[in-house]
Amino acid sequence: MYEKPLPIVDPDSAPYWAGTREHKLLLPRCRDCGQHHFYPRALCPHCHSDNLEWVQASGHGSIYSYIICNRPAGPVFKADCPYVVAIIALDEGPRMMTNIVGTDPATVRVGQKVAVCFEDVTPEITLPKFKLC
């Protein structure tokens, strides 16, 4: 039984979470200005166009910043301590929050290259996480 908070999927985000369930990282891209963005929304945050499409991202990026959580965000995360919460700068441009997994938190550094991996936490929800390349 997965007890941590799950994303509450809404019409804006449904395609995104459907993508992660198939182990694909999808990003919205604006057909007018050509830029990607994250998170998904009704208007492009760069040019406010509503002419948007979903594209599959490379899944690669670098660590923009990170913290080591020695105190959990509530009791359900306690067993994971110490764990790494990071912001990734995706190669396509946007930033996203995630966890860095599969490595000793003490070895994590800003600027390290990372690649997406997927954690199927429930039958409906798959969370994208990242590991060092």
Residues in contact with other proteins by the rule CB under 8 A: 4-10, 13, 38-39, 64-75, 77, 80, 82-83, 85, 87, 95-99, 110-111, 127, 129
Report the C-alpha gap between 81 and 2 in whole angstroms. Answer: 17
The pairing of strands 26-30 and 83-90 is unpaired
Which among 28, 36, 33 has a CA at the least distance from the CA of 49? Answer: 33
- CA–chain centroid gap for 82, Å, is 19
* Structural contact between residues 38 and 15, judged by C-beta atoms closer than 8 angstroms: no
State the CB neighbour count (10 A cutoff) for residue 73: 14
Looking at the Cβ atoms of 29 and 100, the one nearer to other proteins is: 100
CB of 56 to other proteins, least distance (A): 18
